[in-house]
Amino acid sequence: MSEKLAIIGSRDSILGFKALGLECYPVERPEDAVRVIKDLFSVKQGYAAVYLTDDLASGIETELDDIKKDASMLPVLIIIPSHKGSLNLETVKIRKMVEKALGIDLLGEKKT
């Protein structure tokens, strides 16, 4: 059973998670995050979830989609805000999926 959790992000964003038992992988560049994610996903290391800060995820969406397509059910890749705040990447992605499925921007902001 997969029980391990990992987090990838800038040192300032992730080190507090070490106290909660997550394995921390500090990286500064999106390319480095892709390399770490591929390592964690390709080697069956028993992770249940891998968290990635959205500041790193913002430049590598295509690579992340490719990794998710090739991966099994676990680990799950979860995008979280960094210490700088949220970029709302997942909200934008969900909005685009709903708009594609329904043909309208149902979750869009109200226009005044």
Buried-state track 82-104, b at ≥16 Cβ within 10 A, e below 16: beeeebebeeeeebeeeeeeeee
Position with higher pLDDT, 109 vs 27:
27
Which of 62, 54, 97 has its CA nearest to residue 108?
Answer: 97
Digit-coded pLDDT (tens) for 58-89: 889 889 888 888 777 788 888 888 867 665 66
- Whether the model clears a pTM of 0.85, i.e. scores above it, the answer is no
Domains annotated for the chain, with CATH where assigned, are: 4-84 (3.40.50.10580)
The pLDDT of residue 67 is 85
